[in-house]
């Protein structure tokens, strides 16, 4: 990686300027946070609070898999906090590389170790060691091999003892993560979460490598962004117990990083792979597509961004289109045989449950929110990848808050995109970054 700095003032004067060169308010805020003890103060707070969250989860959660995660993760977060305290006691300047290694070790301790422990326990016959989405993804892979589609029709779903587990509310590409178990049988390493974690780690590592430029101020913000996608309890708990959202998020972050380096063809492939797994990635692909059009790379980007989801959809639509409709459209919108378990008490859910005609009201508000974001894109299209990520974070936050059926866990998407918007901003004037 090569860089040219005209002096520390060139990058200390502004944190990720906008298109007009004026320092962004989010950048100034986060630079001030990272300046406290060279970022160690914020790291200590993050790991200490996360340890408390893990302890609380281990002692009070009603879900076995969540308690098992907390019992292991609390020690990982505590070790990370101790490592930060040691650096503070030694009064050592914490460079971003050292902090990044602490993040990597913490991710292994609070995500990978409890994940593998639960996968081993599950393979040994223990119950309650995986959330329903893991079972659903693995069952969809079995169906894909048997019938050519990961979806079960309404009659087949109705015949199951638990119809909820018969629904696969994902795009066909998600079933790929269940193929190891479908092919090789029950073993800890065939657990779908193992493969969720591998794809997540690879995508986040590649994205961070693309954005790292050797400038301490910018790399410090990149460390914070990586923390948001890996070691925050919202991400670590989700990946260790269920995990299907994390590879989707990681591939989208990789797509933004590739776009920031003007590699729009590969950006389309990355976000297209995410969209082939989950419908939630489709609006992300649209926002990134708007940025590609601004840069004159729309065709190159669209080949992967639109091509991969279409290619994965075609077999399912050709084999049994009604099963696809039942699983991907009717069930998430509340018209399936059973109600979706996504019932976190956010605004859209509360409106749907407590207002006459509330579901229609919530859907209308959701549509209006989508139109507002669309108007934003038309009037002020993103001029850099960071702006595109910030628009994405805002749009997803609006959608998650207004969806009639939603989960608190989905908030990991806007949180991650908001923090990644900072290292995705262009380098300050006078600094060149390797493409």
DSSP codes of every residue in 17-32? --TTSPPPHHHHHHHH
Q: Is residue 376 part of a domain?
A: yes
Query: What are 132's two structure tokens?
Result: 């329903």
Q: Is residue 322 part of a domain?
A: yes
Q: Is residue 4 part of a domain?
A: no
Residues in the chain: 435
Domain count for the chain, please give it.
Answer: 1
Among residues 4, 31, 1, which one has the least CA distance to residue 425?
Answer: 31
Confidence of residue 28 (pLDDT cuts 50, 70, 90): low
Q: Is residue 374 part of a domain?
A: yes
pLDDT at 96 over 90: no
Report the pLDDT averaged over residues 116-142.
95
* 150-203 pLDDT per residue, tens: 999 999 999 999 898 899 999 999 999 999 999 999 999 999 999 999 999 999
Among residues 198, 199, 248, 204, which one has the least CA distance to residue 223?
Answer: 204
DSSP, collapsed to helix, strand or coil, labels residue 432 as coil
Query: What are 186's two structure tokens?
Result: 């029950």
Euclidean distance between CA atoms 309 and 400, whole angstroms: 22
Indicate the angle between helix axes 412-420 and 245-260, nearest 10 degrees: 20
Q: Is residue 429 part of a domain?
A: no
Helix boundaries (H) for 124-191: 132-147, 154-158, 179-184
**Which domain, by its residues, includes 277?**
27-420
Q: Is residue 16 part of a domain?
A: no
Report the pLDDT averaged over residues 228-248.
94
Q: Is residue 10 part of a domain?
A: no
* 369-426 pLDDT per residue, tens: 888 888 888 889 999 999 999 999 999 999 888 888 777 788 899 999 999 999 998 8
pLDDT at 72 over 90: yes
List the Cα angle 364/367/372 in 5-degree steps: 125
List the Cα angle 311/316/317 in 5-degree steps: 90
Euclidean distance between CA atoms 198 and 257, whole angstroms: 19
Q: Is residue 277 part of a domain?
A: yes
Query: What are 421's two structure tokens?
Result: 């918007």
CB 157 within 8 A of CB 337: yes
* 333-384 pLDDT per residue, tens: 777 888 777 667 777 778 878 888 877 888 888 889 888 888 888 889 999 9
* Residue in this structure with the two tokens 């300047």, named with its chain if needed: 93
Handedness of CA 224, 228, 232, 236 (dihedral sign): negative
In a 13 Å sphere around the CA of 85, the CA atoms on its Cβ side amount to 9
Report the pLDDT averaged over residues 135-148.
95
* 255-309 pLDDT per residue, tens: 999 999 999 999 999 999 999 999 999 999 999 999 999 999 999 999 999 999 9
* 114-128 pLDDT per residue, tens: 999 999 999 999 999
pTM over 0.95: no
304 burial class (0-12, 13-18, 19+ CB within 10 angstroms)? buried
Euclidean distance between CA atoms 81 and 231, whole angstroms: 12
């Amino acid at each position: 990686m090569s860089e040219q700095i005209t002096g520390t003032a060139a990058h200390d004067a502004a944190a990720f300027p906008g298109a007009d060169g004026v320092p962004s308010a989010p950048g100034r805020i986060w630079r001030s946070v990272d300046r406290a003890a060279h970022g160690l103060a914020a790291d200590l707070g993050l790991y200490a609070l996360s340890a408390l969250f893990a302890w609380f989860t281990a002692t009070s959660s009603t879900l076995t898999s969540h308690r098992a995660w907390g019992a292991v993760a609390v020690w990982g977060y505590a070790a990370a906090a101790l490592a930060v305290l040691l650096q503070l006691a030694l009064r050592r300047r914490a460079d971003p590389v050292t902090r990044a290694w602490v993040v990597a070790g913490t991710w292994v301790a609070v995500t990978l170790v409890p994940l593998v422990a639960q996968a081993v326990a599950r393979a040994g016959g223990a119950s309650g060691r995986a959330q329903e989405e893991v079972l659903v993804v693995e069952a969809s892979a079995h169906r894909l091999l048997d019938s050519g589609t990961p979806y079960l029709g309404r009659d087949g779903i109705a015949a199951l003892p638990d119809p909820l587990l018969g629904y696969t509310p994902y795009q066909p590409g998600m079933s790929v993560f269940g193929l190891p178990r479908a092919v090789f049988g029950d073993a800890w390493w065939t657990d779908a979460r193992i493969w969720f974690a591998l794809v997540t780690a690879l995508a986040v590592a590649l994205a961070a490598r693309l954005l790292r430029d050797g400038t301490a101020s910018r790399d410090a913000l990149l460390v914070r962004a990586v923390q948001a996608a890996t070691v925050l309890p919202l991400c670590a708990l989700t990946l260790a117990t269920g995990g299907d959202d994390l590879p989707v998020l990681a591939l989208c972050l990789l797509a933004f990083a590739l776009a920031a380096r003007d590699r729009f063809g590969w950006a389309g492939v990355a976000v297209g792979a995410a969209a082939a797994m989950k419908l939630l990635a489709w609006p992300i692909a649209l926002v990134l597509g708007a940025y590609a059009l601004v840069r004159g790379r729309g065709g190159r980007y669209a080949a992967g961004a639109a091509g991969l989801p279409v290619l994965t959809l075609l077999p399912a639509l050709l084999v049994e289109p009604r099963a696809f409709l039942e699983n991907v459209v009717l069930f998430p919108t509340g018209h399936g045989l059973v109600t979706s378990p996504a019932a976190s008490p956010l605004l859209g859910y509360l409106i749907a449950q407590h207002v006459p005609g509330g579901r229609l009201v919530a859907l209308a508000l959701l549509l209006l929110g989508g139109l507002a974001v669309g108007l934003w894109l038309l009037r002020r299209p993103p001029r850099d990848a960071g702006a595109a990520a910030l628009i994405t974070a805002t749009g997803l936050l609006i959608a998650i808050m207004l969806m009639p059926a939603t989960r608190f866990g989905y908030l990991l998407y806007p949180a991650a995109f908001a923090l990644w918007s900072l290292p995705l901003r262009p380098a300050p004037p006078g600094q060149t970054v390797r493409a």
